[in-house]
Amino acid sequence: MRVKVYQRLVSYRISLLLIVTLTTLIAGNFSIAKAETKQDLRFVLQITIDGLRADLINRYANGFSKGGFRLLTEKGTYYTNAHYQFANTETIVGHATLATGTFPSQHGMVGNVWFDRDAGELAYNIEDPDHPIIPTRKNESKGAQVDPAQKKSRTQGRSPAVLLAPTIGDGLAAYFGGRSKIFGVSGKDRSAVSMAGHAGKAFWFSTNTGDFVTSTYYYDTYPDWVVKWNDLRQAEGYAGKSWALLNDPSTYLLADQDDRPYEADLKGYGRVFPHPFGQADDKLLYTRILISPIGDQLTLDFCKSLITHEQLGQDEIPDYLSISFSGVDAVNHFFGPSSLENEDVVVQLDRTLEDLFSFIDKSIGLMRTLVVFSADHGMADMPEYMTGLGYKADRLDPDQIVSTANRVGQKYGIDEVVRFFYRPYLYLNDEKIAAAKLDRIEVEHAIADALTDFDGIALAVASSRLTVQQSNPLISKVRNNHHVSRSGDIYIIQEPYWFLFDKGPVAAMHGSPWRYDTHVPVVFMGPTIKPNTVYRLVHPVDVAPTIAALLGMTPPGSAQGSLLEEVFQ
């Protein structure tokens, strides 16, 4: 079947060449020939792998089959040197950037969580009290929440209301007069909602029920096919089972890195294979399924049903589906990116991708599909692992950061000058600074300077300094991250490999502007796109404008990226 796909792609390219040549000869106009190729494009499949640092595709290549990652890297135009240009490399920030082609300074998603200054409390990125999740069951059980960002949400409602820039899906909706079908699916709500944009529909995995859910922003009631899929209770079928290695342990590069003391044990999930998911009444059953290759497999199965029942790619109007696979990121957080668990989840994802491409080829045709592949951020190795290899790193204590800043405030006569700290932003108490009749900028700079001296912090950037042009590339990344009403007053950047997050269940993090967090793969694969490996520096903001150009559309309104020229050669 794999060979057949290659042959069809190759033969399609040859026939395409003939069409281009003939039309050019007849019409004497290359743009007409180009238009013919666009008519054949019926489906845009945007795949995002949560937390897939770009080098992991190389590190585990020996374990890959031919039809997954290799199909992408060998048949597509593969960018090996793509880096995010903003500082806070988190899930919503990366996804929103891929969808809109612009920076958090424009799309407003400055972090998974930010401080709502008016309300005086934290806000979760896509929370929306006006659009509750539609229940899938009469007596819905409640799972335990371990996602630290989700825990901050003030409501169960979800929508793209606070995504401030149009997306590629929004562009398709406008260009084709609402006739293009647009969907976003993911293991995580924020990854589905951001990619579906304002005009599309989103579904995501519920760690309460193991169902795929949506909110009233998208539907009044669930479509029949979703009810049927959820009634199969596929996730529940994994109760009492375990995540086991796909292959013989000796075949893994990281076979010796299964049990490391700093890996996290999620209440019985363990640090070594096999990892038991727990019984049906275990509140962490569906969370553990998401921290394994099974979550990705269920996501694909749901997408197959969606493609079939919504008849995606079956007419001349191109449809759009974003699939964001969440397993790699979840596994990274608990076991680290240099664990046996990481190697296995990526190898098993390779088989899931092979299954996906095979399904697309049968149902729509890969020769009619534009595949766009990337990741929302990379991942840092854990400080203990790097220390063991000779590189000094440690875990920062958020309380010490706050007390250091408050000590500076006390020198100015202010008690508790910090209003709130949630990484990466420190928010100052404006009222206290104003009441003390102090120069706000002076206080801000003094605190930033004190924090920069703190062991493990590379740079603390006062927001008031962002207006001044400076050559430090870290500052330009903080500037790209700065949204005028949502960002805090001081942005804190840790030293490489230092861990800066809540003291919670997770062992490893991303979210820094360092290269291991900004480095993601970018691949475009489709009927008119040549196999090519490109090593020049490119950026994920280029993805949305390039998709738009391939479809003959104007880029999303706020897009700042450039066209990836190799895709058009």
Residues 305-324 that bind Zn ion (CB under 5 A): none
Q: How far is the CB of 434 from Zn ion (least distance, A)?
A: 38
| CA distances in angstroms from 90 to 106, 190, 243, 518, listed in the order given | 16, 11, 26, 10
DSSP H helical ranges for 41-161: 56-59, 69-75, 91-100, 104-107
Please name the residue that has the structure tokens 């930033």. 448
For residues 77 and 194, which CB has a smaller minimum distance to Zn ion in the complex?
A: 194
What is the C-alpha to C-alpha distance for residues 126 and 161, in angstroms, rounded to an integer?
Answer: 7
Considering the rule CB under 5 A, would residue 73 count as an interface residue with Zn ion? Answer: no
Site string for Zn ion, 452-491 (x = CB under 5 A): ----------------------------------------
Considering the rule CB under 5 A, would residue 376 count as an interface residue with Zn ion? Answer: yes
Contact between 514 and 380 (Cβ < 8 Å): yes
Contact between 274 and 337 (Cβ < 8 Å): no
3-class DSSP state of 279: coil
Which range, of 45-53, 351-359, 544-552, 553-561, touches Zn ion by CB under 5 A? 45-53
Per-residue exposure over 429-446, b if at least 16 CB sit within 10 Å of its own CB, e if not: beebbeeeebeeeebbbb
For residues 502 and 565, which CB has a smaller minimum distance to Zn ion in the complex?
A: 502
Which range, of 43-51, 218-226, 472-480, 548-556, touches Zn ion by CB under 5 A? 43-51
Considering the rule CB under 5 A, would residue 91 count as an interface residue with Zn ion? Answer: yes
Q: How far is the CB of 329 from Zn ion (least distance, A)?
A: 5
DSSP class of residue 471? Answer: -
Residues 324-343 that bind Zn ion (CB under 5 A): 329
Q: How far is the CB of 419 from Zn ion (least distance, A)?
A: 27
Q: How far is the CB of 158 from Zn ion (least distance, A)?
A: 17
For residues 94 and 171, which CB has a smaller minimum distance to Zn ion in the complex?
A: 94
The residue count for binding Zn ion (CB under 5 A) is 4
3-class DSSP state of 431: helix
Which range, of 48-56, 352-360, 455-463, 527-535, touches Zn ion by CB under 5 A? 48-56
For residues 50 and 350, which CB has a smaller minimum distance to Zn ion in the complex?
A: 50
Contact between 293 and 349 (Cβ < 8 Å): yes
For residues 125 and 560, which CB has a smaller minimum distance to Zn ion in the complex?
A: 125
Q: How far is the CB of 263 from Zn ion (least distance, A)?
A: 19
Q: How far is the CB of 52 from Zn ion (least distance, A)?
A: 9
What is the C-alpha to C-alpha distance for residues 395 and 507, in angstroms, rounded to an integer?
Answer: 10
How many other β-carbons are positioned within 10 Å of the β-carbon of residue 467? Answer: 8
Considering the rule CB under 5 A, would residue 296 count as an interface residue with Zn ion? Answer: no
Long-range contacts of the stretch 274-277 (C-beta < 8 A, 24+): 274/242, 274/243, 274/244, 274/245, 275/242, 275/243, 275/341, 276/241, 276/242, 277/238, 277/239, 277/240, 277/241, 277/242, 277/243
For residues 345 and 462, which CB has a smaller minimum distance to Zn ion in the complex?
A: 345
Site string for Zn ion, 419-458 (x = CB under 5 A): ----------------------------------------
List the one residue out of 13, 2, 47 whose CA is nearest residue 523.
Answer: 47
39 burial (CB, 10 Å; 0-12 / 13-18 / 19+) is exposed
For residues 91 and 494, which CB has a smaller minimum distance to Zn ion in the complex?
A: 91
Considering the rule CB under 5 A, would residue 344 count as an interface residue with Zn ion? Answer: no
Work out which of 23, 43, 50, 80 binds Zn ion, going by CB under 5 A: 50
Interface residues toward Zn ion, by CB under 5 A: 50, 91, 329, 376
